Structure 1
Amino acid sequence: MRYLVTFFWAFLLTQMVNFILNSLAGGGPINFWIGVVLAVAITLAIFILDGLTKMSADHTHAGDEH
C-alpha cells in the first residue's frame, strides 16, 4: 500500500513539474507520458532504496547478537 501511495504522490508531483516547466518553455502541448515514466522511475528508486536500507539494517542487527 505504501508503494501505491508513493506512486500516487510521485505521479502527482511529476505532472505538476511537467506542467510548470512546459509553461515556462512557451506552453506547447504537454506530454503526459513523461510524467508517468518519471513517476514509475521514482517509485522504483524508492522501492530499491527501501530494500537496500532494510538489508543494511538486518546486517547491523545480526552483528549485535553475539
Structure 2
Amino acid sequence: MRYIMTIFWSFLLSAAVSYVLSSMGGEPFLIENAIILTVIFSIVVFVLGEGILKEKTE
C-alpha cells in the first residue's frame, strides 16, 4: 500500500511542478513530462526509504 501511495503522491506533486514550470516557460502542459518526473520521484523515494534512510535496530 505504501508503494501505491508513494506513486500517487509523486504523480500529484510532479504534475503540479510540471504545470507551474510549463506555465512559466510559456509552453503547453504535457502529461508525459509529469509521468517521467513521477518515475524519477518514486525511484528516489524508494531508494531513500528502503536503503539510505533505513533505521538501525539494536
Q: TM-score range by the shorter chain?
A: 0.7 to 0.9
Q: Over alpha carbons, which structure has the higher Rg?
A: 1
Partner residue in 2 for 1:11: 11
Three-state SS of the structure 2 residue aligned to 1:57 is: coil
Deviating beyond 2 angstroms after TM superposition, the runs of 4 or more aligned structure 1 residues are none
Distance in 2, matches of 1:45 and 1:39, equals 10
Share of identical aligned residues, percent?
Answer: 33
For residues 6-49 of structure 1, what are the alpha-carbon distances to aligned partners after superposition, in whole Å with 9 as ceiling and x for unaligned?
111110111111111111112x3222111111111111111111
Partner residue in 2 for 1:37: 36
Aligned length: 57
Could you list the runs of 5+ residues in structure 1 that have no partner in the other structure? 62-66
**TM-score, structure 1 as length reference:** 0.71
* Correspondence 1:48-59 to 2 at 5 A: 48-52=47-51, 53-54=53-54, 57-58=56-57
Could you list the runs of 5+ residues in structure 2 that have no partner in the other structure? none
Q: Identify, as 1 or 2, the structure richer in helix.
A: 1
